[in-house]
Amino acid sequence: MLLECTSGAEVWNLTEPFEISRGSMSDVNVLIVQLRDAEGRIGRGEAAGVPYDDETPASMAKQVQDVKAELGSDLSGEDLLRLLPSGGARNALDCALWDLRAKQSGRRFWELAGRDLVQAVNTAYTIGLGSEADVRRKVRAARHMPLLKLKADATRHVQMARIAREEHPDARLVIDANQAWDLALVELILPELFGLGVELIEQPVPRGTDAQLDGLGSPIPLAADESCKDRGSLEQLVGRYQFVNIKLDKTGGLTEALALARTARQMGFGLMVGNMGGTSLAMAPAHLIAQDCAYVDLDGPLLLKSDREPAMAYENALLHRASRALWG
């Protein structure tokens, strides 16, 4: 018997435009997938997809539609790894399946993953690019957040860290170039970033050009984001990055994300978990990955004008696990 599968697109407005090196956005477009079993139990999953791979709700919905005939009642996450490539469509399906299996078994998602407990975690808060006045305003408004993630591009980089240090002297700082730098720029600005207390740099160079980092010897650890998709990405990152940023939209769901986290730890990488934006429904499964991460960036709902009901509870930076009514 097949699981009934439905999907649809949603648009969630941001509180204000959010700019990174690739451009600016005013809302987050997501795909919602629901899986219903014969008894009427429903599992839900949300995916924003991977925008730099040209994924949209429409393209992801097409991928879901193409595999509907394969979604039997005995479907597993491992089956989905064979049916679909990594990306948002598989993420939405996989997370919906985890939610459905939790409802069918009466067990919470962490129990299904073999864990005894899931703890609240502290998330970073992201400061997008903008004018100096806007960046200062955003940092001042985030003084209650102990870890700031600063977006950067090829011209606005050290300035971002300097502003953050001036407006929030006690903050821990991570900077994310989103592929906007090259080796020459990295070497030029590393000393200043180190002096300003930046403790992690995300994806300084374009994916596919990671070899230029060979022998860099950075005093600040580097984290692979766009260059780390799934387990198949890890070998090319060895010696070039010290951390990997795990995002469920990139891995294609929680099943692969858990496997990626295990393999990355075994290979000596530190772990970070991030998000492509979205509501609490997207953050809920990623919260499980966060349990093993040195850096957690699950602030997507904090950047939205509204969230789902019920939503995950944020107490300043502290993010609590999802309720049964939301997911898992």
Q: How many residues does the chain have?
A: 328
- For the chain, what are the domain ranges? 4-106, 121-319
Q: Where residue 110 falls among pLDDT bands split at 50, 70, 90? A: very high
For the cut 90, the answer to whether the pLDDT of residue 23 exceeds it is no
Residue 313's pLDDT band (cuts 50, 70, 90): very high
Asked whether the predicted pLDDT for residue 137 surpasses 90, the reply is: yes
Name which of 260, 273, 288, 253 is nearest 43 in CA terms.
253
pLDDT of residue 19: 86
- Return d(Cα 111, Cα 115) in angstroms, integer: 5
* Eight-state DSSP code of residue 8: E
What is the model's pTM?
A: 0.97
**pLDDT class of 34 with cuts at 50, 70, 90:** very high
Model confidence pLDDT, tens digit, residues 247-263: 999 999 999 999 999 99
Q: Using the 8-state DSSP alphabet, how is residue 302 labeled?
A: G
pLDDT at 53: 96
Tokens of 201: 């740099």
Check residue 254 and give its pLDDT: 98
Asked if 87 contacts 249 with a C-beta cutoff of 8 angstroms, the reply is yes
pLDDT for 230-288, tens place per residue?
Answer: 999 999 999 999 999 999 999 999 999 999 999 999 999 999 999 999 999 999 999 99
Share of the chain above pLDDT 90, in %: 98
* Cα–Cα dist 289/327, whole Å: 15
To the nearest whole number, what is the mean pLDDT of the chain? 97
Q: Which residues of 310-323 are buried (b: 16+ CB within 10 A; e: fewer)?
A: ebbebeebebebbe
Residue 152's SS3 state is coil
Q: Which CATH number does the domain 121-319 belong to among 1.10.10.10, 3.40.50.970, 3.40.50.1820, 3.20.20.120?
A: 3.20.20.120
> What pLDDT, in 10s, does the model give residues 205-230?
999 999 999 999 999 999 999 999 99
| Class for the domain spanning 4-106 | alpha beta
* Cα(182)–Cα(129) distance, integer angstroms: 19
**Each residue's pLDDT tens digit, 46-93:** 999 999 999 999 999 999 999 999 999 999 999 999 999 999 999 999
Angle between helices 88-105 and 280-290 (to 10 degrees): 80
